[in-house]
Amino acid sequence: MAAKGAKAQAIGPSRGGQTTKIHALTDVLGRPGVLVLTPGNASDVTTAPAVLAEAPGRIRRLAADKGYDADWLRADLRKNGITPVIPGKRSRKRKIRHDRPRYREQWRIETTFNRLKDFHRIATHYDKLARNYASTLALAAIIAFWC
């Protein structure tokens, strides 16, 4: 039996109301290789293993924002041979050093989202069902990055 409800449709409360969050894994050129939908209230760091499991190839470095700052995630990344380029949260007792020049390349991910949101249907989230929204998102990514 299929799961029903808001959680199955990747809809959850956020600051702006009921929303869906898009998690992306991009290559060095900013082209999305993995796009995962979660409810708007889903934590970035808890979603990271599911997103990384979908990776199409080998990952050498993971540049992410402070939302992905967790000791267990860093340890898991290092165990898998991935260098984390994640700045520490301000509230950390022990400061985290990260590769600033490599972290500056993280703008590519933001550019990826901006480019996807150029498609009105992605930005406004017209689709009610998660599978329809994910399909629209995949089509927009193909058109924006590979056509």
CA–CA gap between residue 128 and residue 117 (Å, rounded)? 17
**Chain segment 33-89, per-residue pLDDT in tens:** 999 999 888 888 999 999 999 998 899 999 888 889 999 999 999 999 999 988 888
pTM of the model as a whole:
0.83
pLDDT at 5: 65
Model confidence at 1: pLDDT above 50 = no
Task: Between 41 and 137, name the one with better pLDDT.
Answer: 137
CA–CA gap between residue 63 and residue 126 (Å, rounded)? 30
**Chain segment 108-130, per-residue pLDDT in tens:** 889 999 999 999 999 988 888 88
pLDDT at 51: 93
Helix then strand then coil, % of the chain, to nearest 5: 40, 20, 40
pLDDT at 3: 60
The secondary structure of residue 104, as a DSSP letter, is: G
